[in-house]
Structure 1
Amino acid sequence: MSRLHIPTRDEAPANSKPILDIVYQKLGVVPNLYRLIGSSPAALAAFAAFQDGLSKTLDPGNRERIALVVAQINGSDYCLSAHSYLAINFARLSPDEIALNRGGGAKDPKAAALVKFAARVAEQRGHIVDADVLAVRQAGFNDAQIVEIVAQVAVNVFTNYLNEVARTRIDFPVAPSLAPRAQATAAG
């Protein structure tokens, strides 16, 4: 059971309803996370604006890769489940790619550099070393994209933490546990 009340769409504050309606139009459902954030119209508006603003440079696959590795690092089962679903159904990532992303890697070298950088930012809480920035730059990411990677990490930390604080009930297919090999990759 959730620690915080998750309002239905009908119970949501009036200022949250237009954003929840947009989410419904996009997904066909309003996930528990959005309804939870909708308890605070200000938080929901800020979250929606942040997400919308970050959808311009990094493609959906890379945004989902970041969400997956950050959720794995933070142990957010809700976000792992939600982003595994979104990665398959909207970003068209394969289950194998999702497992690699959760473990801190990717098949494509540029995507692997992005995931590794996002993981370092999350694990080190931003206290990375010069070599981390150099590696992501050498993979082809410019400074604006690096800023957006960090912003994606930040927005995902928010949802990871909120879902853990609230103990949000998972309303997506539950993400499988990583195989021991993938877990070792994430730790190393």
Structure 2
Amino acid sequence: MSRISTPEPQLAPEASQPTLNAIKAKLGSVPNFFRVLSNSPAVIGAHAGLNQGLSKALDVKTRERIALAVAAVNGCEYCNAAHTFTGYTFSKLSREEIERARQGTSEEPKAAAAVAFARKVAETRGKVSNADIDTVRAVGFTDAQVIEIVAVVAENFFTNLINNVAATDVDFPDI
């Protein structure tokens, strides 16, 4: 059971309502994570802004792979379930590729470099080596994309921390 309240969307603070309504329109329902965030209009708004901004960074499959790797590093049950579902259902990652992402790899060389770097960023809290950066650049990532990988790691750290603290009830189906 969640340690932080998970209000029904209509009972969330009024200032959280526009974001919750947008999520419901996009997904058809409001997952528990967003219901937990809705306790604070400032936090749900900040998350929405970060998520919207980073939706323009990298491709969706790479972002999902990073989310899975970071959830594995941080032991986030909720995010692991959520990104397994969204990675499989919307990004069309295979079950095998989802498992590879959790381990920080991929069968695609460029994706493997990105997710390995992301996992290293998560594990070392950003204290990567020059060789780590050189490796991700060697497969064609620009400095802008290296920063985007780091930002996607940070976004997922944020969601992992919220869900680990809240012990958010998982509401995504097993894949």
Q: TM-score, normalised by structure 2?
A: 0.98
The Cα of 1:105 is off from its aligned counterpart by: 0.5
User: Quick check: 1:108 aligned with 2:108?
Assistant: yes
In the alignment, which residue of structure 2 is the partner of 1:54? Answer: 54
Mapped to 1, the partners of 2:57 and 2:85 lie a distance apart of 22
In the alignment, which residue of structure 1 is the partner of 2:168? Answer: 168
Mapped to 2, the partners of 1:24 and 1:59 lie a distance apart of 23
Kindly indicate which of the two structures has a greater share of residues assigned to helix.
2
In the alignment, which residue of structure 2 is the partner of 1:179? Answer: none
User: Quick check: 1:45 aligned with 2:45?
Assistant: yes
In the alignment, which residue of structure 2 is the partner of 1:27? Answer: 27
Q: Where does structure 2 lack aligned partners over 5 or more consecutive residues?
A: none
The percent of aligned pairs where both chains have the same amino acid is 50
Q: TM-score, normalised by structure 1?
A: 0.91
Q: Structure 1, residues 40-69: CA drift from partner, whole Å, max 9, x if none?
A: 000011100001001113111111000000
In the alignment, which residue of structure 2 is the partner of 1:36? Answer: 36
Q: Hey, which bits of structure 1, 4+ residues long, moved more than 4 A? A: none
Mapped to 2, the partners of 1:96 and 1:34 lie a distance apart of 28
Mapped to 2, the partners of 1:151 and 1:57 lie a distance apart of 9
Q: Report the AA paired with residue 52 of structure 1.
A: Q
Cα RMSD after superposing both structures? 0.9
User: Quick check: 1:94 aligned with 2:123?
Assistant: no
Query: What SS does the aligned partner of 1:57 have?
Result: coil
In the alignment, which residue of structure 2 is the partner of 1:154? Answer: 154
Q: Where does structure 1 lack aligned partners over 5 or more consecutive residues?
A: 176-188
